[in-house]
Amino acid sequence: MPTTNYYTIDGQMIGYKDASGRKDFLTDSLGSVTAEIDQTGANKTFDGRYRPYGNSLWSSGSRGSFGWMGTLGYRSSNLKASTHYVRARHYNDTNALWTSIDSYWPAEKAYVYVQSRPTALSDPTGNTIKVTYECPCEACKGGKAVKAPPPISLDGGQKAACDAADKVKAHPWNYNRALKCMQGELGTAKKAQDMYDCILNKCTSTSAKHKVEITCNSSWYGCGRGANCAYTDPPGWGPLCVIHICNESVDTICKKGGWFCIGQVSATCVYPACALHKLYAIEMTILHELMHCCGEGNNPDHGDALAGCILDELPYLR
């Protein structure tokens, strides 16, 4: 019987070798296999993208058993009601739910996948959300507080977000993939194009009526609670886009239970970054809020997914 050998680094798969030869993985920032290349490094035998909860968005070629979140051990099972095997449990990408109760229920939700934040979090054991970011809140790492990441300037955060959109736009192949990914969330190619154009216009406008403003304040109720690190006013296709970023202290955010907000403390702001995955950097947060400025509704998963469509292309350009 033919055997398949898998290669790993620090417990994360990087490729495999079967009867046809060695294949190496190219991945997105969450760990999904977006391409497989042969041992020469010159030929792609698979290329694809996924929707936030695991459905295939598009693909070409053929791949092995590991696709969406594959480097973390999510194995495609090809079963209708149980599409992925994830160690302790099976998962169904059709309804975005686990097929059996969480072993920590009722402390955890019985069937909900990663607190409904699939573009930021993962659960490679089937029981425990993966923590990959250092977090200042004790709730993040079993009572052990760790050092927060260094601060980033406010202007630097906006520039990083806008530069990401501009850089992807400058590479037609990556730009088209980003648009196709956004189309999967928005429904039509025109909506995806309009959204991308709006972001670039917001980034480059010098008009006081159409530019982006980023402010730091803690007067709004959601500041530092749960996943609420920032919000946009007004939402929709408004000319002026004001992004409010929570500037509570790290201690206050932790006490409120805002463990999604890492305290990247500077003199003026606590910059949000998801405590559970590097994908939620400041540029991700600003792009997410720009999506709201450009007409995306209040669904946080959509904002995350649309921003991820752009940021997921950056590793191919560096």
Contact 280, 272 (CB under 8 A): yes
Six-digit token pair at 168?
């992807």
Contact 249, 263 (CB under 8 A): yes
Burial class (CB in 10 A: 0-12, 13-18, 19+), 237: exposed
Would the pLDDT of 158 be above 70?
yes
Confidence of residue 267 (pLDDT cuts 50, 70, 90): very low
Of the chain, the percentage scoring pLDDT greater than 90 comes to: 31
Contact 103, 88 (CB under 8 A): yes
Would the pLDDT of 68 be above 70?
yes
Task: Report pLDDT digits (tens) over 191-233.
Answer: 999 999 999 988 887 776 666 777 766 666 666 554 466 777 7
Which range, of 8-22, 129-143, 190-204, averages the lowest pLDDT?
A: 129-143
Stated as kind and residue range, the H or E segment containing 172 is helix 172-186
Stated as kind and residue range, the H or E segment containing 15 is strand 12-18
Sort strands 56-61 and 44-50 into parallel, antiparallel or unpaired.
antiparallel
- Higher local confidence (pLDDT), 311 or 278: 311
- Sign, CA dihedral 90-123-95-186, equals negative
Going from N- to C-terminal start, the domains of the chain cover 1-130, 154-316
Q: Looking at residue 40, what is its pLDDT? A: 85
| CATH code of the region 154-316 | 3.40.390
Contact 275, 148 (CB under 8 A): no
Contact 184, 316 (CB under 8 A): no
Contact 109, 102 (CB under 8 A): yes
Q: Looking at residue 191, what is its pLDDT? A: 92
148 DSSP 8-state letter: P
